[in-house]
Chain A
């Protein structure tokens, strides 16, 4: 009896130690990621100022010029247009699903959202090449009187919009569902119509939640790599426009991994691009998570 108790306690100690080690590793991971990428990009940062890298247009690795403005610009454009497309659609759909639709319809939508969010990036890319790129070059472009190959900022944005839709929609549905029923009932019993209640009470109450859902969507879109890379053209041009090809940061990293070893600065520059991505995404995530926590506290 005594012996088993001792062995049980040492087992308990062992588990405790292992659990603590695992936890500490995980908690240091963000720090490790940041430091690792920073150290790798230090070579570039020592020779060029951050300002020059971020705001210079000249990208010519052979000459040692690493201006990232075109890439940052592309990233911003693709992300903003994607959010402008996906945001309203998700918001409308979320209101429909949580306020008007029957419960059974919401249950029907859950697996659909799950499957959409499970489809791999590459498959979205394939679909983008097959449907969106021709759509843009044959219909949308000519409609606006522009000539385009279809491999453009707009195509990237549309594919990206489809990809982040399940992600944003899921959060929005959760947010609308946390709003207490009593609040709506109070408004309805004061003589407001359902639509007025939604406009004046529910949307107002959910606003911080909606903002953070959109922000999370932005950070998700900003880092998305494969699908965008497949349809966006990957050319840096001085001409800007939604029907022009673009070259976002993630695509820059992914496309050049093979050659970057031959020029040491190049390697460093790509790591710095990854560092920028990491920092921006972390910042957006940080802000929106804080907002969500605050929102949940207020609702309760």
Chain B
């Protein structure tokens, strides 16, 4: 297999009850690049993202068929512990969900549950990751405050720091800026751009402009199918499929 491919999805089909939500998905996601999954709302892109770390296990009546290879390990049919697989993928959801504890503990949560409790190291890590998401200056004096007291934008950055702190290789982001004000959105976007090259980032969005700003690679979905996948350059400047052309022109949304 190609060394530059991190995730390889083969013949993935997903049903909720009788509804066929994802249809014959075959995609390859490049290693340490920023991939955008683009498409109008309701096309299954969020479901696809949640299938990647098997959060679909939580929803009633969901059936998944096919293979998802991450580093050649099929995570849908593996003996490996699901907790380990998930830990390797940080999740940034549409809305920030701060854990019910203070800011410091939010960042160190992942480290603490896996048994790292050295106070000094933890302190170091907190500063490091909060700086990485540009939150350190705003919260360094109130690390003992409940995380829910932060603004939504700050919470989202905290959630990013919290995810980075468990040292994942992949970051999954589900419309991470849709609930945020423009300034916080920009901060998050900028952070994605600076991380690029260190992590495999997958961002779900329905904003064409956002995709243009950040994407290295684009997967375009429509009604549960993948219509086109290509490097961002090719995708935006030289689309191959008719549907893609229409979408880029803004004919449907």
Which A positions have Cβ atoms within 8 angstroms of B?
1, 4-5, 8-9
Contacts and interface: CB of A to CB of B under 8 A. Distances in A.
B81 interface: yes
A1 B81 contact: no
B115 interface: yes
8 contacts: A1-B115, A5-B83, A5-B84, A5-B114, A8-B83, A8-B113, A9-B81, A9-B83
Interface in B93-123: 113-115
Contacts of A5: 81, 83-84, 114
Contacts of A1: 114-115
Interface of B: 81, 83-84, 113-115
Nearest to A7: B115
B115 A4 contact: yes
A8 B83 CA distance: 10
Contacts of A8: 83, 113-114
Nearest to B114: A4
Nearest to B81: A9
Contacts of A9: 81, 83
Contacts of B114: 1, 4-5, 8
B86 to A, nearest CB: 13
Nearest to A3: B115
Given A8-B114, A9-B83, 5 more contacts: A4-B114, A4-B115, A5-B114, A8-B83, A8-B113
Top 6 nearest A-B pairs (CB, nearest first) are: A4-B115, A4-B114, A9-B81, A1-B114, A1-B115, A5-B114
A80 to B, nearest CB: 43
A4 B115 CA distance: 6
A14 B113 CA distance: 17
Contacts of B81: 5, 9
Contacts of B83: 5, 8-9
A47 B73 CA distance: 70
Contacts of B84: 5
Nearest to B87: A5
A194 B113 CA distance: 58
A9 B114 CA distance: 11
A63 B114 CA distance: 72
A5 B80 CA distance: 12
Nearest to A6: B81
A9 B81 CA distance: 9
A5 B110 CA distance: 13
A9 B113 CA distance: 12
A109 B84 CA distance: 51
A1 B167 CA distance: 14
Contacts of B115: 1, 4
A260 to B, nearest CB: 50
B78 to A, nearest CB: 15
Most chain B CB neighbours (cut-off 10 Å) among A1, A5, A9: A5
A10 to B, nearest CB: 12
B124 to A, nearest CB: 19
A131 B113 CA distance: 61
A8 B115 CA distance: 9
A3 to B, nearest CB: 8
A5 B81 CA distance: 10
B201 to A, nearest CB: 25
Nearest to A12: B83
B29 to A, nearest CB: 27
A121 B81 CA distance: 53
A8 B84 CA distance: 12
B114 to A, nearest CB: 6
B46 to A, nearest CB: 24
B81 to A, nearest CB: 7
Contacts of B113: 8
Nearest to B113: A8
A13 B66 CA distance: 29
A5 B115 CA distance: 9
A9 B80 CA distance: 12
A1 B87 CA distance: 14
B82 to A, nearest CB: 11
A13 to B, nearest CB: 12
A1 B84 CA distance: 12
B227 to A, nearest CB: 35
B238 to A, nearest CB: 47
